[in-house]
Amino acid sequence: MAIEIEFPDGSKATFPEGTTGLQVAESIGPRLAAAAVAAKIDGRLLDLTRPVTSGVFEVVTEATEEGRSVLRHSAAHVLAQAVLSLYEGAKFAIGPAIENGFYYDFDIGRPFTPEDLERIEEKMAEIVAADQPFVREEVDKSTALEIFADQPYKTEIIESVDESEVSGGDVVSLYRNNGFVDLCRGPHIPSTGRLKAFKLLRTAGAYWRGDEHRPQLQRIYGTAWESKKALEEYLHRLEEAERRDHRKLGPALDLFSFPSELGSGLAVWHPKGGLVRTLIENYSRETHADHGYQLVATPHVAKANLWETSGHLDFYADGMYPAMELDEHDRYYVKPMNCPFHVLIFRSSSRSYRELPLRLFELGTVYRYERSGVLHGLLRARGFTQDDSHIFCTRSQIGTELQSLLDFVLMVLRDFGFTEFEADLSTKNPDKWMGDPELWDEATDALRAALEAAGLDYTVAEGEAAFYGPKIDIHIKDAIGRRWQLSTIQLDFSLPERFDIEYTTSENTRARPVMIHRALFGSVERFFGILLEHYAGAFPMWLAPVQVEIVPVADRHLGYAGDVADRLQAAGLRVQIDETSETVGEKIRRALTAKTPAVLVVGDRDQEAKTVGLRLYEAEREERGVPVGDVVDRLTRLAQPPR
RNA sequence: GCCGGAGUAGCUCAGUGGUAGAGCAGCUCACUCGUAAUGAGCAGGUCCGGGGUUCGAAUCCCCGCUCCGGCUCCA
C-alpha cells in the first residue's frame, strides 16, 4: 500500500511502503538529505532510517534547535559508549540533551578526573570515526530487564516505564551501535559519523533522579554542534560570559567585594559601587513615588510571634536565620521578607475602600539562610535588598491594578536598557492551594489579561503557583542572549486572612482586601549584578560612577583641566582629573580600563583655543578641538537619566 | 547541605620536605609627553585558619573557613 505524504508547503507525494525518512529527504534534494538528522511525521520525531507513515512529513535538519537536540542526544550515547568501554563495571543512568549540550550520569565508583575526560573524548572520537550505525530495536520489558541485568539504574527506569518517557506499554525501545546498547526513546542520527563537533566540558556530582537522599552519580557535561564553526562560536560565547562575570568585574572595577570575614553571601559596597547603587535606589524610590506608591520603612527583626502569624515559621523556617534568644520569652528573627511589616502598617488604622489600592513601597533589606552551595555572588546572596511593595486592593480592582503594574514594570526595565521580555504565568497547584476557588480563577484570568494587554510573550507554568496565590515572573534577555528572572508579581489570598485585615466598603460592610506582592528588580543586588554583566562593566553614562576623566597632557595643563572640570561639574557631571605623572597613553588606558564613558584630553592647543580632545568609550576614534561648551552640552545629554 | 576542585603579595600566578618568588597594581624619584603600558628604585607575606607528622612543612595528614563547577533550592 502506498504512503501519502504532505510536505510543510502543502504539496503532496506518494511513496511505496517501507520508504525511509532519509529516502524521502533524498528525493527532495541531496543537500537536504546531508543536513537531515531526523524525520517528523505529524509532529512526531522519527529516525531517518525508519519507514515513514502517511501524514505531514518534515525533515529535521541539524542546524535547528530540534536537530541539535537529536545530535546532542546521540552524542550522549557515544559518551556513554566510551565510558562503558573504558571503565570496567561502569554503571550508567540517564543522558539527555540539554540547552547547548548534553550530559550523562555515571557511577564508576570514583569521580572522573580531567585526565579521564581526555581519554573519554579520544574514545568518543574513535567511535565517531568508525561511523557506527544506530540501530533501533523494540523489546518487551522482561527482555530489556535481562539485557540490563547488571545495570541497576536502567533496571529502575525499565520498571517505571509506564510513567517514564522511554516508551509506552510493555514495549521499550533500545538503540544499538556496535556492542553498545542503551535504553532510549530516540530518535537518533543514522550513524555516529554524523557527529562533527563535540567537546566534553566538565564533570560534577548529581543525585540520581535529582533526589539528595539517593546515590550521587558523576555527571559529565558536554556540548555538540552541527559544525566546528558553531562549536567555536559557542565556546566563544562561554568565554564572553566569563569575561562579563560580575564576580570578576565587581572587584576589578572597585564596586563591591565579599570579604570572607563577613561570611558567605554577604557583600560590602565600595564607594563606586555604593554610588551606582544609590543612583539605582534613588531612581527606584522616585519612580515609585511618582506612580502612586507610598514610601515606608520597617525594622530588620521582629518577634517570633509575628512570623508565627504570617506562617513563615511553618513554611519558611529553613530559609530563615536562627532565632536570637533575648530571654526565655523573647525570640527575635531577622526578616527574610518584608510583607508582614507592611500588613501591620495596613492594620495600624481602620481602612476605607476610598484608600484602596493602597501601595506601600520599601527598599527592604532581608536575610535568608541560603544553603551554602547555592550562593553565587550578588545573584544569589544571603543578605539583599528588595524593591518590595505590597498593594492592598479590593477584589474588583485586581484587573486594572495588574495592568497598570505590568506597564510600570516594563517601563522600569526599559529604563535600564532591557528590551526583550518574556513572562511565566504560574497557576494553581491542584494539591496545594488555599482560599476561594473563584477568587483563584478570577485572579488568574486577570493576570492573563494583563499579560495580553501588555503584549508580553508568556508561557503558562501549570501548577507552579505558591499555595497562597498565582503569580507572574518576568524574564529579560541580556546583551548576550541570556535569560534572567527579574520581576515577580504575586497574588496573595493567605496573609490578609492570617492577619485578619479588613476595610470598610461603600455599603458600610467589612471586606477582606487582596494583597499583591511585587518586586521589579527582585533585589537591588541581583539587579546590579545582572546590569553589570549586561553592560560588561560599561554602565550607561547616567549610572557610571565616574562619567568624565580629564587627562592633562602635561602638568602645565592642570589649571585648564580644573577649569574644564568645574564647567562639567556645574552641569551636574561626575568628573575626575588624572593628575598622575604618567604618559598620555597610560592615562587614557587607565580611564578606558575603568570603562569611563568619556575621556577628555587637554593640551596646549586646547588651552589656547578653549577646546578639548573627546574620546567616548563607545566611539572608535577620538575627536579633537571640540569647544568646551559643546562638550558640556553633549555630555550632559548623554548622561541624562531616563526620567 | 551533598559531590568534585581550589585557596601563596591588592590582582594574575610560579614554587612537591631544606633561606618564599615573578609580572601587574602601590609608593618614591626622574621624565612633562596629544589618544590603550616611560624608566629606575623601594616597599609589600600568619603561603586561608587551627591541630598533627617531621631535625625541618607553602609542600604530607586531620578538622574548620572561604571561593569555584554542579545537584537541590531560589530574588
User: What CATH number is associated with residue A437?
Assistant: 3.30.930.10
Q: Residues A507, A426: one domain?
A: yes
Instruction: Point out the residue nearest to B69 (C-alpha to C1').
Output: A204
Q: Residues A237, A260: one domain?
A: no
Q: Residues A289, A420: one domain?
A: yes
Q: pLDDT higher for A346 or A146?
A: A346
State the pLDDT at residue A602: 96
Q: Residues A159, A193: one domain?
A: yes
Task: Report residue A33's pLDDT band, with 50, 70 and 90 as the boundaries.
Answer: confident
* A555: pLDDT strictly greater than 80: yes
Residue with cell string 514610601 = A295
- Euclidean distance between CA atoms A312 and A340, whole angstroms: 9
Distance in Å, residue A605 CA to nucleotide B35 C1': 15
Q: Residues A416, A485: one domain?
A: yes
State the pLDDT at residue A285: 97
Q: Select from A186, A218, A241 the last residue of a domain.
A: A241
Question: A399-420, pLDDT tens digit by residue?
Answer: 999 999 999 999 999 999 999 9
- Euclidean distance between CA atoms A444 and A436, whole angstroms: 12
- Catalytic residue from among A390, A518, A526, A595: A390
Give me the helix-helix angle, A271-290 and A524-534, nearest 10°.
110
Distance in Å, residue A322 CA to nucleotide B58 C1': 38
Q: What is the mean pLDDT of the segment spanning A610-626?
A: 93
CA distances from A202 to A102, A111, A206, A219, A223 (A): 11, 12, 12, 8, 10
Question: A135-149, pLDDT tens digit by residue?
Answer: 888 888 888 888 998
Is A368 part of the annotated catalytic residue set?
yes
Distance in Å, residue A80 CA to nucleotide B72 C1': 24
Is A291 part of the annotated catalytic residue set?
no
Is A214 part of the annotated catalytic residue set?
no
* DSSP string covering A349-408: S-EEGGGPSEEEEEEEEEE----GGG-BTBTB-SEEEEEEEEEEE-GGGHHHHHHHHHHH
Residue with cell string 517601563 = A411
Q: Is residue A387 part of a domain?
A: yes
Task: Report residue A161's pLDDT band, with 50, 70 and 90 as the boundaries.
Answer: low
Report the 3 state secondary structure along A595-636: CCCEEEEECHHHHHHCEEEEEECCCCCCEEEEEHHHHHHHHH
**Nearest nt by C1' to A587 Cα:** B36
- Euclidean distance between CA atoms A192 and A194, whole angstroms: 5
A435: region left, alpha or beta (phi > 0 left; psi from -120 to 50 alpha):
left
**Nearest nt by C1' to A554 Cα:** B32
Distance in Å, residue A589 CA to nucleotide B37 C1': 8
Structural domain containing residue A281? 256-533
- Catalytic residue from among A339, A359, A397, A518: A339
* A164: pLDDT strictly greater than 50: no
b/e map A532-545, b = 16+ CB within 10 Å: bbbbbbbbbbebbb
Distance in Å, residue A324 CA to nucleotide B73 C1': 25
Q: Residues A474, A457: one domain?
A: yes
State the pLDDT at residue A603: 95
**What ipTM, to 2 d.p.?**
0.92
* A166: pLDDT strictly greater than 50: no
Q: Is residue A251 part of a domain?
A: no
Amino acid at A477: K
Q: What is the mean pLDDT of the segment spanning A388-396?
A: 96
* A168: pLDDT strictly greater than 80: no
- Euclidean distance between CA atoms A559 and A579, whole angstroms: 11
Quote the mean pLDDT of chain A: 91
* A276: pLDDT strictly greater than 60: yes
**Nearest nt by C1' to A583 Cα:** B33
Q: Residues A349, A392: one domain?
A: yes
Distance in Å, residue A311 CA to nucleotide B38 C1': 67
Q: Is residue A249 part of a domain?
A: no
Is A339 part of the annotated catalytic residue set?
yes
User: On the CB side of A167, how many CA atoms lie within 13 Å of its CA?
Assistant: 21
Q: What percent of chain A has pLDDT over 70?
A: 98
Q: Residues A206, A336: one domain?
A: no
**Nearest nt by C1' to A242 Cα:** B68
Amino acid at A408: F
Q: Residues A108, A165: one domain?
A: yes
CATH number at residue A624: 3.40.50.800
Please answer whether residues A40 and A48 qualify as being in contact, where contact means their C-beta atoms are separated by less than 8 angstroms: no
The set of strand B positions with any atom below 7 Å of a protein CB reads: 1-5, 7, 11, 29-38, 65-75
Q: Is residue A294 part of a domain?
A: yes
- Euclidean distance between CA atoms A166 and A172, whole angstroms: 7
Q: What is the mean pLDDT of the segment spanning A607-624?
A: 94
How many domains are contained in chain A? 4
**Nearest nt by C1' to A485 Cα:** B75
State the pLDDT at residue A74: 92
Distance in Å, residue A280 CA to nucleotide B24 C1': 33
**Nearest nt by C1' to A490 Cα:** B75
CA distances from A120 to A92, A193, A351 (A): 14, 17, 69
Cα Rg of chain A, angstroms: 31
- Euclidean distance between CA atoms A86 and A79, whole angstroms: 11
Q: In what order do the strands lie in the sheet with A180-183?
A: A135-140, A171-177, A180-183
State the pLDDT at residue A394: 95
Q: Residues A193, A300: one domain?
A: no
- Catalytic residue from among A246, A517, A557, A595: A517
* DSSP string covering A103-122: EEEEE-SS---HHHHHHHHH
Distance in Å, residue A641 CA to nucleotide B24 C1': 36
Q: Select from A505, A533, A561 the last residue of a domain.
A: A533
Q: What is the mean pLDDT of the segment spanning A147-174?
A: 76
Task: Classify residue A459 as exposed, middle or buried by CB count within 10 Å of its CB (0-12, 13-18, 19+).
Answer: exposed
User: In degrees rounded to 5, what are phi and psi of residue A136?
Assistant: -90, 145
Instruction: Point out the residue nearest to B7 (C-alpha to C1').
Output: A260
* A1: pLDDT strictly greater than 80: no
- Euclidean distance between CA atoms A338 and A284, whole angstroms: 17
Task: Classify residue A619 as exposed, middle or buried by CB count within 10 Å of its CB (0-12, 13-18, 19+).
Answer: exposed
Please answer whether residues A91 and A110 qualify as being in contact, where contact means their C-beta atoms are separated by less than 8 angstroms: no
Q: Is residue A337 part of a domain?
A: yes
Q: Is residue A539 part of a domain?
A: no
Residue A528: name the closest of A255, A252, A260 by CA: A255
Q: Residues A203, A166: one domain?
A: yes
- Euclidean distance between CA atoms A217 and A207, whole angstroms: 6
Q: pLDDT higher for A43 or A357?
A: A357
- Catalytic residue from among A47, A105, A107, A388: A388
- Enter the DSSP assignment of A488: E
Q: pLDDT higher for A213 or A75?
A: A75
Instruction: Point out the residue nearest to B30 (C-alpha to C1').
Output: A581
CATH number at residue A114: 3.30.980.10
Question: A367-387, pLDDT tens digit by residue?
Answer: 999 998 899 999 999 999 999
Please answer whether residues A180 and A138 qualify as being in contact, where contact means their C-beta atoms are separated by less than 8 angstroms: no
Is A248 part of the annotated catalytic residue set?
no
- Euclidean distance between CA atoms A593 and A538, whole angstroms: 10
- Euclidean distance between CA atoms A49 and A46, whole angstroms: 8
> Residue A112 corresponds to which cell in the numbers above?
572522573
Q: Select from A507, A533, A559 the last residue of a domain.
A: A533
Enclosing H/E stretch for A5: strand A3-6
Is A471 part of the annotated catalytic residue set?
yes
- Euclidean distance between CA atoms A278 and A475, whole angstroms: 24
Q: Residues A231, A274: one domain?
A: no
A244: region left, alpha or beta (phi > 0 left; psi from -120 to 50 alpha):
alpha
Q: Is residue A247 part of a domain?
A: no
Q: Is residue A156 part of a domain?
A: yes
Whole-prediction pTM: 0.91
- Catalytic residue from among A368, A557, A587, A595: A368
CATH number at residue A10: 3.10.20.30
